[in-house]
A and B are shown apart, each in its own frame.
Chain A
């Protein structure tokens, strides 16, 4: 646990378009173990929100239960947060989003919270295409209860007590693609250069955006034989492509050679740039993305980067045709049919 955070800030910290420096996006002091991958992801979220010029109070952050679910307290302290119950964050985020479609919805979960107790809610929030970013801080173990294997632990992976996991892991990225997520990415907590643009692109995505981030547990799952240790992940990581997210087309300055990059233009005109593409993989094609994930898995590789995106994603509000105004802003005059109408209803019941 980090006890102290220096109050000193560089006097010339750069301001974003809203005039905020990056520290405006920070949260309370983390109580996670020193070196926890989750803290790096929090830092990535802070950086992404800063670079995206987000008004923190126009973002709502959600989590379930577990180490990862504590992190919303550690970033964006000017955002409302909701640390809900175990495995049920998706439903709470769904309700909140239905109530006010104008905010940005950001969920953080862990592999226990998502792949075990929350697997049902996870796939159903995906099916509904809720407009939110959903990050799993995936370390393959239960940290808060001292290191038991989770459902994402690889078969044969050894935990700190030396126990070997016997069971098939749940692959959250391919599950997300399968069940209809319209933005699926995978990353590593130790790769901020890749993670930050992915988070930015995810926040900009108009549907359900999922990022599975391998985030080693330094205390319980960073040992020899674990497939979620820093060393193992670094050795087995394979990027689909390097990723840039460009909210405004004018900023594009670098040109790449033919066949080595791809621009994915989103509906609002922003662009996801992918460089050094693998030849057999097309991020716009669900089946091709699925194959790429499965191929990597068969080679014991962890495929990172953007795996799949559908720029034409439509969210839940679009599907159920809710009005453009946030529902929580409607008043009695919008909602209540009044006494005269009630008299007519009474007459029909006689």
Chain B
């Protein structure tokens, strides 16, 4: 069999499993092995809102060029779920491979002439090799990983090494796992031609990169940012942010002397209560946060308005999923942009951060706590299910030990002694950001009642029109200050190379970058900018101004980022052309390319 060069380190393997059968760790073993061989790899979980029984898929793209977006063409499908097998067979590209459990004969309706079949009697092999029922189920998964190692040229010792790391402390489990891997690879060696016409070859493309889920990076970022209070209500796909925070806190926040915890984590009765606790804790001077998804942000609207108007630091991670309403809880989208930007009734606007990678999730948490305390306002870290719940190749996490927490304008007792009269909402520095005090600071100075009602500069309840308007105008002044403080966008070129630009944010980055390369192959050059925050910095405005057409790439139906650009910067809707994807799956480069091509 001739090996086509372009198929080295460039293919997609999809695993079709039954939820709850232990396939996740086997599939991750496959991903991690590719990673260890120095080859860029990007896995996507496509899973149901279900604990056990429904179909689940795990799609792994291997890309020598480092393309980390999703690709729709499936080269090899591991189909071990009878429930979804009909569609799984259909999903393989012509000339691709379908690997299945051949313990029973494959029914004729599953036979396609234009694909190749690799039958392995997984169940039979497990029954012969293992006596325990649970082992028989689990090792079926390991056997197909062993088979893939042979088919795709994965170094066997890499797999062995990964297993010994995974079972550190439980070493007696290792031999049974290695036996299963061998069963799989030996079967291929004995019965099939190998490797396939696409395969993996060792590279050194990853250097010090890591493989991590965005949610774990957010949780760890909160630990590094000094969060001491977390309040939350479980909701997919955000739950693992707090779970990571709990795990890392167990590791890093136990007081070595007393054994007590330097953190308080409370599972609230609902999202309303969770955000209320965050606001109460932040008001009282602790760094505090919550993590939720769209339905949670809907519930938190009332409190977000309070935090905006009463000016209380609040950090919220929104791991977006497909809405509206309950929507598709286990599918990805970027559809909370407008909800988050203008959360709550009345005139409100909120600071948003848009990380794209686990490293940026980590950094966003550090920034979010600093910004929310400096600005005394909510800051929302807008990730999505794709970033949060899938492993991503990312630059290594970094923390500068010299970086100090920016706690903002908080007066202590000696500051208060120097002031004749403290005014909580007095704009002393003319930047819209006023000074706050914490309870318990001074016996006679600095106390005030925080409220969601209108008040004057001294925090006294007031229905005076002028006092109300002065306050609203000052909040706008603060918003202008904010524009200078939020992270600046990534601009892809020093000098404009085209009249056309593409604009994107968050997880659209991977496919957008790949689409630029495909366009370039067709001699279509576009400039690019990646937005990292809201409010928009002046760099965003000048990028749009300096191009004729801007393709705004986003993963929602209603072009929410485009709307935000039109509302906030006043751009003509004709200048901003939407490139949308809202089927709940991560956007692909081909999709972006096709949509842009149709305009050019």
Contacts and interface: CB of A to CB of B under 8 A. Distances in A.
A320 B266 contact: yes
Interface string B249-289: 00011010011111111101110111111111111111010
Interface stretch (B133-141, B397-405, B522-530): B397-405
B269 A327 contact: no
Contacts of B281: 95-96, 98-99, 327-328
B396 interface: yes
Interface string A323-350: 1100110111011111101110110011
Contacts of A102: 440
Contacts of A342: 224, 397-399
A128 to B, nearest CB: 7
Contacts of B275: 91
Most chain-A Cβ atoms within 10 A of its Cβ — which of B225, B279, B400, B441?
B279
Interface in A243-270: none
Contacts of B306: 84-85
A321 B461 CA distance: 39
Contacts of A306: none
Given A84-B276, A95-B231, A120-B269, A338 B439 contact: no
Which of A77, A85, A93 neighbours the largest number of chain B CB atoms within 10 Å of its CB?
Answer: A85
B448 interface: yes
Given A94-B266, A336-B226, A121 B276 contact: yes
Contacts of A92: 276-277, 279-280, 283
B592 interface: no
B521 to A, nearest CB: 32
B398 A339 contact: yes
A220 B153 CA distance: 82
Contacts, number: 222
Contact of A350 (B210, B283, B286, B452): B210
A182 B528 CA distance: 61
A57 B449 contact: no
Interface in A65-96: 72-73, 77-85, 88, 90-96
Given A99-B286, A337-B223, A339-B400, A328 B438 contact: yes
Contact of B449 (A83, A320, A335): A83
A91 B276 contact: yes
Nearest to A327: B228
B563 to A, nearest CB: 28
A10 B460 CA distance: 28
Contacts of A79: 439, 447
B258 A332 contact: no
A116 to B, nearest CB: 14
A78 B444 contact: yes
Interface residues of B, number: 74
Given A95-B278, A320-B266, A338-B399, A80 B437 contact: yes
A291 to B, nearest CB: 28
A327 B223 contact: no
B276 A98 contact: no
B226 A327 contact: no
Contacts of A346: 208, 210, 396-397
A296 interface: no
A91 B440 contact: no
A331 B270 CA distance: 30
Nearest to B439: A80
A81 B448 contact: yes
A46 interface: no
Contact of B279 (A57, A95, A120, A330): A95
B186 interface: no
B299 to A, nearest CB: 11
A240 to B, nearest CB: 31
Contacts of A84: 276, 279, 306, 452
Interface in A24-41: 28
A320 B255 CA distance: 13
Interface in B207-221: 208-212, 220
A77 B443 CA distance: 10
B442 interface: yes
B451 interface: yes
A18 B545 CA distance: 66
A343 B253 CA distance: 18
Interface of A: 28, 55-58, 60, 72-73, 77-85, 88, 90-100, 102-103, 120-121, 124, 128, 316-317, 320-324, 327-328, 330-332, 334-339, 341-343, 345-346, 349-350
Given A85-B302, A103-B439, 8 more contacts: A57-B439, A79-B447, A85-B303, A98-B281, A100-B439, A124-B268, A339-B398, A349-B211
Closest 3 CB pairs between A and B?
A95-B280, A91-B276, A99-B286
